[in-house]
Structure 1
Amino acid sequence: MKPEITVIVPIYNVERYIRKCLDSLLAQTFANFEVWAVDDGSPDNSTEIVLEYAAKDQRIKSILKENGGYGSVLQDSIDRLESKYFLICDPDDWLARDALEKLYNFAEEKQLDLAVADKYNVYEEDGEEEYVKSIPSWMQSIKADTVYTAPEDVQKFSLFEVTPHAKLYKTSIAKGIVFPQKVSYTDFVLYMLALSKTKRIAYDQEALAYYLKNRPGNTATDVRPSVIKDYLTGFDAILKQLPQEQADRNQVLYYRLFIQLRYICKQYAKVSKDPFKDEYIKLIYQGAASLQPYRQEIYQVTMENTTKSSRIFQHGLLTPVTSHWFVKKIIKKFM
């Protein structure tokens, strides 16, 4: 029987965590799925552990490839997918026992291209679980269990948590996406570009995934200055793949890229070792310049949390003659 869902598990240096991930998958109440455990050139014993599990259950497939980063795993996997749906489960995370069943039934009953649910953040030192809603606390216009089809409403989901946790994608909306290689944060590329093709989406307000928030080596604990380049590489990949002739339709996605640029400025304030003198500030300036042709589309978007001051920063950042000054002002605010 052809699997209905493929669970993609990108693997790199996770031998300490992979068993819990695979155990959670094999314990699923939904049976018609397969696991692609993709070893991205990992130097540890992760694959040996995967092979141990594959010998016990034929739904687990061990796939080996040369190291190319998270984006290369997504690229190779999505290009070859034949299942109707897929879900990404990072190898240091795990799923609720009924996660696949609930997401699958939710998507099938509502004929969704994308189903989004909540997650728990889990902290390694004490195992504390923190319920995290995918939807922003200020957003009242999107309701749980409601199907959204208008582009503006669909794209409001870009303001949700962008990580892959508890998101079930219809495979067809991810085909054709080109992912950057050798960088992190490419799950943002997947989510944004999939939304640009989504016709039907809904939010299931229950936590179905567990995210190990603060383990050493994951992206949440990454303080390298070069993460700024990773962020902007993903930013650029999205901007280049959004069809220019559909700019009016994708206004909210361009607005979300503006929000991402502001976030990158905030992160720069945290990680830069030589503020305003290193190579990364120039990349931020370039990112702002690349978004400026879409400023009219961005100006058309008003969210529930939009304020007069945020509008001032928006206009300043997206106006060529003032852009650098506003970039610096945002960064200084977080230093």
Structure 2
Amino acid sequence: MNKILTLIIPIYNTQEYLKKCLDSLIIQESLLPLLEILLVIDGSPDNAISIAKEYEANYPETFIVIDKENGGYGSVLKRGIQEAKGKYCKVLDSDDWYDNQAFERFVLELQAINHDVVVTDFVKEFVFENRSEKQTLPSLKNQQVYQLDTEINNLKGDVFVMHRLAYKTEVLRKAKINFPEKVFYTDTLFASIPLFFAKDLYYTNLQLYRYFIGRDGQTIAPESIRKNRKSVETVIKYYYQKFLENKNELSEQKKIYSLNALKTLVEMYYRILYHLPYKDSKKEMSEWNTFVKKTEEHKEFTTNKMVRYYNLLPYFIFRYTSVIWKE
């Protein structure tokens, strides 16, 4: 049976969450053969591979274990896209899970459509606080198709984040993303760069992905972001490089969207560096500002109030001027 969906699951040091993740993917028997679930063990030092192999043994048509040397999240995505046999490709982190019933309906829905991007809703699960937050897209209509070359800037909300997205595998391969290895936050590249090549988007309001918030060591925590800031810088620079390679082929609307997305990331990195200790902040902000000023789009990237103040004021004044936060 042809595979409708390849699900890439990066696995590293998450054995205590893995069974919950994989159990959430066991849907009705007639649909399981439509799935290819790649369990990519990224040199994980725990017992995750034994757990993964149990599922491979019990569901050999669906679960495939790939045991590889540690190369980081991006290396897993790269390997998964290379191996994928499904019409669509999606990523699920191994400490997260899917709503089981929504996943079953999602697989049924994929069989009836033929669009480059499929977008769903997701839920943030604050497990230790015993609460959830639904992440909906009220400006989009359920089961509606949108033409990205002309409508991408009309799609309001955080549409293009990994938790929502399934891409056609052929679109992902066309993007030729050479994911940086041993770098965090490469899910941003998975979410963003294939948009250069995708023509249309289908939205379904299924609350599919359950995103675990609050686990120790999560890379989204502010202190982790600051610690891993060079990964953020690498991702932004790679995204910008791919934009330059493809911008002449983009529609005007896609060009505007991509530049705005990059502008947001560039500004975010200034803010990350601002929160470092004084000496580190001064040095790294100077280096980052030099890079930004040399880009073709530097006028766009430096319109933010914080960046303008940085370029106007001596650093010791900029550092202690609270007005830059009043935006």
TM over 0.5: yes
Give RMSD over aligned pairs: 3.3
User: Among 148, 162, 165, which residue is 1:164 paired with?
Assistant: 162
TM-score (norm 2): 0.83
- Judge conservation of contact 2:7–2:89 (CA < 8 Å) in 1: yes
Where does 1:286-305 land on structure 2 (aligned, <5 Å)?
A: 286-289=290-293, 292-294=295-297
User: Among 301, 304, 311, which residue is 1:313 paired with?
Assistant: 304
1:74 offset after TM fit, Å?
A: 0.5
TM-score (norm 1): 0.81
1:317 offset after TM fit, Å?
A: 4.5
Distance in 2 (alpha carbons) for counterparts of 1:64 and 1:158: 39
1:303 counterpart residue number:
none
Give the aligned residue type for 1:333. W
1:73 offset after TM fit, Å?
A: 0.4
Unaligned runs of 5+ in 2: none
User: Among 255, 260, 263, which residue is 1:258 paired with?
Assistant: 263
Q: Does 1:112 align with 2:104?
A: no
1:305 counterpart residue number:
none
Give the aligned residue type for 1:253. S
More helix by share: 2
Give the aligned residue type for 2:237. D
1:307 counterpart residue number:
none
Cα gap change, 1:157 to 1:229, in 2 (>3 Å):
farther
Distance in 2 (alpha carbons) for counterparts of 1:221 and 1:319: 27
2:54 counterpart residue number:
52
Give the aligned residue type for 1:18. L
Where does 1:178-217 land on structure 2 (aligned, <5 Å)?
A: 178-217=178-217
Residue deviations 1:20-68 (CA, integer Å, cap 9, x gap): 0000012368421021010111111111111122221111111111111
Give the aligned residue type for 1:167. L
Give the aligned residue type for 2:194. A
Number of aligned residue pairs: 314
Give the aligned residue type for 1:289. K
Give the aligned residue type for 1:236. K
Give the aligned residue type for 1:147. V
Cα gap change, 1:244 to 1:114, in 2 (>3 Å):
closer
- Judge conservation of contact 2:102–2:206 (CA < 8 Å) in 1: no
Give the aligned residue type for 2:84. L
- Judge conservation of contact 1:155–1:195 (CA < 8 Å) in 2: no
2:143 counterpart residue number:
145
State, as a whole percentage, how many aligned pairs show the same letter: 25
SS of 2:7 mapped into structure 1? strand
- Judge conservation of contact 1:107–1:113 (CA < 8 Å) in 2: no
Unaligned runs of 5+ in 1: 300-310
1:188 offset after TM fit, Å?
A: 0.5
Distance in 2 (alpha carbons) for counterparts of 1:28 and 1:208: 16
Give the aligned residue type for 2:221. T
- Judge conservation of contact 1:96–1:210 (CA < 8 Å) in 2: yes
1:255 offset after TM fit, Å?
A: 1.1
Residue deviations 1:315-335 (CA, integer Å, cap 9, x gap): x8599976998x97899529x
User: Among 70, 74, 95, which residue is 1:71 paired with?
Assistant: 74
Distance in 1 (alpha carbons) for counterparts of 2:230 and 2:20: 32
